[in-house]
Amino acid sequence: MRAIGVSHSLNGRGKPRSRGPARWAAPKRSPHGRGDTTRLRVLWLLAAALLLASAVWVRLAYWQVAQHASLSDKAAQYHLRQVAQPAARGAVYDRDMNLLAVDTTVYDVTLSPTVVKPASREKVADGLSAALGMQSQDVMDLLESSQAFAYVKKRQPKEIADRIAGLDLPGVGLDPQPDRRYLRGGTPDVSLASSLLGFVNYAGEGQQGVEQRYNARLGGQSGSAMVYHDPTGRQITLSKQKLREPVDGVNLVLTLDSSIQYAAEQAIADGVKSNKAQSGSVLVMDSRTGEIAAWANYPAYDANAFTTTDPARMQDPIVSAHYEPGSVMKVVTLAGAIDQGKITPSTTIQDPGFIVVGGSVLHDWNGINNGTVTMTNVLEKSLNVGAVRAQQAEGADAFLHYLDAFGITKKSGVDVAGEVPPTLQAQWRPTELATAAFGQGVAVNMVQMCAAINVIANGGRWVQPHVVKQVGNVRPSLPAARQAVSPQTAASMTQMMESVVQRGSGNLARVQGFEQNEAGKTGTSEMPENGKYSHDHVWASYAGFLPADNPRFTMLVVVRQPDNGSSDHNEGYYVSGPIWKRIAQQIIERQRITPGAVFPSN
């Protein structure tokens, strides 16, 4: 009991236990009030310190957390650099694996004027001016400028770059750049097959032709690497890098035969010049496969000097421009009518020299009464009336069907950039339909027309014209060949086209040794100018294949606006036939084509 009493009366230290809030009460105010003031000051100081600390922490959090990414990037810029890893562009070969286009290296000559000490400026200026063929003062002006970096001259060949490297000049750099080079063509200042190949601009992008069409495959995928640099700018390879390996482009093997291409370029250039024409084009195709062996234009351009080339010259008239095939189209018209069984080569008609269709009078080219003629005569003499009569016998629907079957109504699908679609009437009036029978009012490109004539050479089968044989190690898949007309029709048409060469308008295209074994057709069509057809400006064309009994190639020659003084001398037989013959002779030599054995007919 006593212990309890003690515990109640004492708080363990011999003092009476205080009750209630007295224990936590504020200390007694001193007589001068100094205790409260001190506490208040301490509190204020604490609050101020906390505020300042918070401000610092908030600011730190802002820089370290919110601004982390941008500050890290800025820091990285001082020692980290993204280095492009360019992919090597694939080369282009012809069918015999001769190089047509290859990447070489050129060098941009650079200067860091701030690095060059004043005492060395003269040496640098003299060295660079001598190597680059510049005025020494021009280099000195760069050296005295306050620039940190300047280009002295771009895209210099390796020989000059080696000479500059040998001088060991301070502040001078050589920046390697890829440079696409093309081989010399058939005429001076022109690269081989420039229209077909196109070119590669300084950004590494293929422009025009095959270079543009296969740009993704040829160019590959460039890579990049984030690398550290030391203060002198040298790369520290073993540092932590983010590397994306480049994927090199694949090589392209074309169907082109560079020898035939060269011969075609020379022949068309001479033909255009001798006929005072505006331009001309040649297309040579393997009759069985559709592989294009030559694709030549005149005038063409030098793809190695594309920066100084007139852009108008870069347009490829073979695939990117229309022309009206003229009488070459009669092959399609007559083939359709024969295939329909409406006519035969020996079917006769009366040709008074004109025909009235839809209120319009359509004339033959010779303007005379031709009397009774066979369909073979129609083709030999290229009579418009006969073609219209054949189309009328065939019917409009069938005619349009055969236009489609011969590939006239849609793009050829050749694997070259920039092919223009044909322009055909949506609604055919009778006159338009009739003129289409002899190739006026139908605008096609040359690839379409060459493939259409090739149908006859290939036993009635249309094959896909193409220029690329192999992409890397893969042969591109092509649309299947299709039967446009029956083999019998093709054989009949071949005989009729042989007759054109032997007895008709194709006489100037006769190749020695193949006089009895060559098929062809001339064409002359007026050019539309200012809404009507011009009598002075024409497309003169010639299409044919050889040997007729076992065709090895089909060729189409088109010359634009020949100017030989008289309209007769501007026609296809006179202008384009001899060009066709000259190229055919070269192909015969190149491909060792022999005239077929002549068997007696018993």
Partner 1 sequence: MPPSARHNIPPLDPPFAEEKALVNTRILTTRRQPGSGRLAYHRRRRSAWPRLATIANSSTAERFGLFTFARAYTAAGALLAVVIAYLVLGAHATQTAYELDQLRAQNAQLLAEQDQLRYKDASLHTRAGIAEAAAAAGLQHSNTPKYVGYQPVALDLSAPIGPDRPQDAPLWQQALAAIVGSTARDAQAAGKADVWRRP
Where do contacts with partner 1 occur on this chain (CB under 8 A)?
A: 98-99, 102-105, 158, 176, 181, 183-186, 192, 230, 234-239, 258-259, 262-263, 512-513, 582, 585, 589, 597-600
Q: CB-wise, 67 or 104, nearer to partner 1?
A: 104
Distance between CA atoms of 176 and 160, rounded to whole angstroms?
A: 12
Which residues, 6 or more positions from 6, have their beta carbon under 8 angstroms from its beta carbon? none
Q: CB-wise, 418 or 513, nearer to partner 1?
A: 513
Q: CB-wise, 24 or 78, nearer to partner 1?
A: 78
Distance between CA atoms of 262 and 188, rounded to whole angstroms?
A: 12
> Cis omega before residue 325 (within 30°)?
no
What's the min distance (Å) between Cβ of 106 and partner 1? 9
> Which residues lie across from 206 on neighbouring strands?
200
Q: CB-wise, 92 or 375, nearer to partner 1?
A: 92
Distance between CA atoms of 314 and 208, rounded to whole angstroms?
A: 8
Q: CB-wise, 18 or 594, nearer to partner 1?
A: 594
Please, are residues 202 and 215 in contact by the beta-carbon 8 Å criterion? Answer: no
Lookup: tokens for 317 = 């008239």
Q: CB-wise, 427 or 512, nearer to partner 1?
A: 512
Task: Check residue 249 and report its DSSP letter.
Answer: P
Q: CB-wise, 237 or 372, nearer to partner 1?
A: 237
DSSP secondary structure string, 183-246? -B-SSTT-BTTHHHH-EE-TTS-EESHHHHHTHHHHH-B-EEEEEEE-TT--EETTS--EEE--
Q: CB-wise, 103 or 526, nearer to partner 1?
A: 103
Q: CA geometry: angle at 87 spanning 83 and 91, to 5°?
A: 155
Lookup: tokens for 436 = 């289409």
Neighbours of 572 (CB within 10 A): 33
DSSP secondary structure string, 126-190? HHHHHHHT--HHHHHHHHHS--S-EEEEEEE-HHHHHHHHHHT-TTEEEEEEEEEEE-B-SSTT-
Distance between CA atoms of 96 and 262, rounded to whole angstroms?
A: 14
